[in-house]
């Protein structure tokens, strides 16, 4: 049995990193004009007459929806294992709480740094972006669920946020790709990052924990809380940082219909894959979301509502098929253990989303591409933009794979308190688990009974 003593490492990492955050925030982070008490002065100086210029509800409702997806959505989606619900929702909480602080800094340095003052000025939109940034790491956690220690997860987060900020800068600011809902920068990156880590951390004897790698009835219901909050708020996710006005409207509509379409095809394939047509909760919990992932990059495009339906249609099928066929194949042949199946929900649909956006951008008429994206394509033909969208997707995947491999090797150093192969998927390792009367009685009983039986003999 591995040494899962984390009483030194976990508090040390939490304290040291949190103190580092305080210091770095002290040096770098300030309120932006809209959040600063000097706003009335600024307003006068800039000749702003309307209070609507500083309306709190300009993007705040979207922020809260995204926030719910990160903490309740991802958190509860990972409670499906029978004895890893504490770790699923609890470590998700820890990762995101650390990640968003580090993301405010990393994204700040790349996007909001004022070179005159050397400060990062933050407002509500930075909070949304920080939450987005965390999503990448939480996706990666999906592949690692139950097999790593919380200290390892914090390391995954530290590097994940850093890599994210760099690839995001390259894709959005250098390549000028459009990716409002993060098909590439969040899902493809996060998916391949997690898969690469998991591949390096392959556990030969994981089947020793096989009895815990499944759900019980109520843990599946808990996971549906996560699924539904992700599903419902995905239109907000894809529209949160889209261009105000028609761009946001379109992003919400496209995502809404794509997700609806994914549900029907996920149900269809799930039913097809069982002897008598029974549905599998794993598919309903995950593959129904594939349409939202795939719509990310092109949500604000003029993809048309039926285009969005087709995207959802195909991704629901591909994702469910992935759960039925590809994940077992990857585990057997590629030695890739992917607890939540992020390959099917994030990596592949994210990659497809990137390529779909390339096709849609390339197919855009000059007029629409100019208008619809507020002149962002203005210096490029639609075809060129399409090429860049595809290139951006490849950059995201490359960052995920290479970064993940490196982080994986770092995590192999035997100092992080990770569980042994026969100890995975078990909250007992890192949590004080209450004695569960319902489970304990039968076991006691069983033992009594056995004793009794033996006495009889």
Residues 148-187 that bind a copy of itself (CB under 8 A): 150
Tell me which stretch binds a copy of itself (CB under 8 A): 322-330, 331-339, 350-358, 449-457: 449-457
- Note whether 52 binds a copy of itself by CB under 8 A: yes
Among 85, 112, 344, 389, binds a copy of itself (CB under 8 A): 85
Tokens coding 306: 């039926």
Q: What is the smallest separation between the CB atom of 202 and a copy of itself, expressed in angstroms?
A: 26
Among 2, 113, 175, 264, binds a copy of itself (CB under 8 A): 264
Pairing of strands 119-122, 29-31: parallel
Among 116, 276, 379, 454, binds a copy of itself (CB under 8 A): 276
| Residue numbers 413-432 binding a copy of itself by CB under 8 A | 417, 429-432
Please answer whether residues 181 and 291 qualify as being in contact, where contact means their C-beta atoms are separated by less than 8 angstroms: no
Dist. CA 118–CA 332, nearest whole Å? 51
Dist. CA 287–CA 275, nearest whole Å? 20
Is the Cβ of residue 334 or residue 440 nearer to a copy of itself in the bound state? 440
Alpha carbon distances (Å) from 166 to 97, 172, 191, 267, 356: 20, 10, 16, 38, 23
Residue where the block lists tokens 């349409």: 291
Please answer whether residues 279 and 269 qualify as being in contact, where contact means their C-beta atoms are separated by less than 8 angstroms: no
Q: What is the smallest separation between the CB atom of 219 and a copy of itself, expressed in angstroms?
A: 8
Tell me which stretch binds a copy of itself (CB under 8 A): 82-90, 329-337, 397-405, 418-426: 82-90
Dist. CA 88–CA 285, nearest whole Å? 15
Please answer whether residues 87 and 433 qualify as being in contact, where contact means their C-beta atoms are separated by less than 8 angstroms: no
Is the Cβ of residue 229 or residue 399 nearer to a copy of itself in the bound state? 229
Alpha carbon distances (Å) from 252 to 67, 262, 442: 17, 16, 50
Among 170, 184, 188, 284, binds a copy of itself (CB under 8 A): 284
Among 112, 209, 213, 261, binds a copy of itself (CB under 8 A): 261
- Note whether 412 binds a copy of itself by CB under 8 A: no
Among 2, 39, 203, 420, binds a copy of itself (CB under 8 A): 39
Question: Helices 189-200 and 348-363: crossing angle, nearest 10°?
Answer: 150
Site string for a copy of itself, 354-373 (x = CB under 8 A): --------------x--xxx
Dist. CA 239–CA 251, nearest whole Å? 5
| Residue numbers 106-135 binding a copy of itself by CB under 8 A | 122-124, 127
Tell me which stretch binds a copy of itself (CB under 8 A): 174-182, 221-229, 347-355, 407-415: 221-229
CA dihedral 12, 13, 14, 15 (to 10 degrees): 50
Alpha carbon distances (Å) from 199 to 105, 138, 162, 342, 354: 29, 17, 21, 13, 23
Site string for a copy of itself, 288-327 (x = CB under 8 A): x-------------x-xxx--xx--x--------------
Dist. CA 35–CA 401, nearest whole Å? 38
Residue 134 Rama label (left phi>0; alpha psi -120 to 50; beta): alpha
- Note whether 1 binds a copy of itself by CB under 8 A: no
- Note whether 60 binds a copy of itself by CB under 8 A: yes
Is the Cβ of residue 154 or residue 170 nearer to a copy of itself in the bound state? 154
- Beginning with the edge strand found earlier in the chain, give each strand of the sheet holding 29-31 in spatial order: 29-31, 119-122, 113-114
Among 1, 47, 49, 51, binds a copy of itself (CB under 8 A): 51
Dist. CA 395–CA 350, nearest whole Å? 13
Q: What is the smallest separation between the CB atom of 170 and a copy of itself, expressed in angstroms?
A: 27
Among 44, 61, 329, 412, binds a copy of itself (CB under 8 A): 61
Is the Cβ of residue 226 or residue 400 nearer to a copy of itself in the bound state? 226
Pairing of strands 113-114, 29-31: unpaired
Is the Cβ of residue 25 or residue 169 nearer to a copy of itself in the bound state? 25
Is the Cβ of residue 45 or residue 274 nearer to a copy of itself in the bound state? 274
- Note whether 40 binds a copy of itself by CB under 8 A: yes
Among 113, 175, 200, 267, binds a copy of itself (CB under 8 A): 267
């Amino acid at each position: 049995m591995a040494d899962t003593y984390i009483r030194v490492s976990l508090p040390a990492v939490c304290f040291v990193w949190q103190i580092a955050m305080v210091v770095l925030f002290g040096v770098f982070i300030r309120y932006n004009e809209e959040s600063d008490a000097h706003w009335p002065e600024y307003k006068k100086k800039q000749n702003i007459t309307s209070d609507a210029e500083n309306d709190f509800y300009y993007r705040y409702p979207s922020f809260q929806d995204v926030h719910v997806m990160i903490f309740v959505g991802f958190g509860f989606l990972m409670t499906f294992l029978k004895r890893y619900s504490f770790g699923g929702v609890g470590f998700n909480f820890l990762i995101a709480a650390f990640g968003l602080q580090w993301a405010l800094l990393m994204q700040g340095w790349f996007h909001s740094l004022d070179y005159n003052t050397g400060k990062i000025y933050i407002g509500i939109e930075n909070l949304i972006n920080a939450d987005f940034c965390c999503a990448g790491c939480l996706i990666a956690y999906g592949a690692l669920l139950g097999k790593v220690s919380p200290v390892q997860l914090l390391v995954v987060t530290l590097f994940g946020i850093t890599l994210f900020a760099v690839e995001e800068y390259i894709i959005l600011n250098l390549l000028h790709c459009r990716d409002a809902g993060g098909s590439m920068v969040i899902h493809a990156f996060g998916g391949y990052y997690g898969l690469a880590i998991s591949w390096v951390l392959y556990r030969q004897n994981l089947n020793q924990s096989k009895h815990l790698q499944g759900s019980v009835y109520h843990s599946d219901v808990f996971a549906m809380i996560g699924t539904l909050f992700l599903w419902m708020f995905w239109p907000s996710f894809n529209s949160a940082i889209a261009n105000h006005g028609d761009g946001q409207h379109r992003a919400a509509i496209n995502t809404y219909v794509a997700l609806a379409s994914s549900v029907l095809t996920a149900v269809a394939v799930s039913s097809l894959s069982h002897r008598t047509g029974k549905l599998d909760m794993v598919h309903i919990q995950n593959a129904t979301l594939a349409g939202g992932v795939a719509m990310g990059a092109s949500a604000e495009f003029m993809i048309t509502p039926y285009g969005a339906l087709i995207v959802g249609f195909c991704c629901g099928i591909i994702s469910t098929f992935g759960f039925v066929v590809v994940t077992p194949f990857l585990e057997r042949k590629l030695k890739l253990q992917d607890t939540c199946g992020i390959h099917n929900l994030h990596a592949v649909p994210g990659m497809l989303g990137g390529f779909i956006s390339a096709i849609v951008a390339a197919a855009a008429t000059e007029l629409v591409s100019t208008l619809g994206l507020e002149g962002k394509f203005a210096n490029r033909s639609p075809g060129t933009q399409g090429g860049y969208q595809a290139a951006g997707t490849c950059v995201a995947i490359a960052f995920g794979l290479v970064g993940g491999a490196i982080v994986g090797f770092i995590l192999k150093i035997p100092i992080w308190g990770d569980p042994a192969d026969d100890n995975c998927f078990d909250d007992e390792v890192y949590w004080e688990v209450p004695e569960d009367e319902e489970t304990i009685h039968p076991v006691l009983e069983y033992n009594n009974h056995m004793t009794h039986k033996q006495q009889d003999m």
